[in-house]
Structure 1
């Protein structure tokens, strides 16, 4: 599996109002929600990016009032992403 590493300025990380141990997971979740909301990533890809299951992802979407989009194209992406 390939990975992408993102480096953030330490001043920016220190300026976040989050406990240090929560920063990585929170940033992954925020990125996943944003990409999904902008229709740049499927639900499957977004869940994988955030490191959470689909039910938890749907819960986060609902809490932020981000609409779910799931049509034939996204179904195809999910099938391919799942290896089917």
Structure 2
């Protein structure tokens, strides 16, 4: 696992750790504002911005929003 992180950091500018609550909030926002049903991993970039808006203010950033591989029962519990 550590080797994967080392490889990732060799090709990206930064990586952040986010809380599960922020991921769920990101999923909810993607549903409400963009009509997207996404799996938790697809909301990681949104969660990072939600947790530290000042860090990303005035910057250009990209996040990949993909995947709808989510258990619908769990999804409904998360986004309600």
Length-normalised TM-score, structure 2: 0.29
Q: Which protein has greater RCO, CA pairs closer than 8 Å, 6+ apart? A: 2
Length-normalised TM-score, structure 1: 0.28
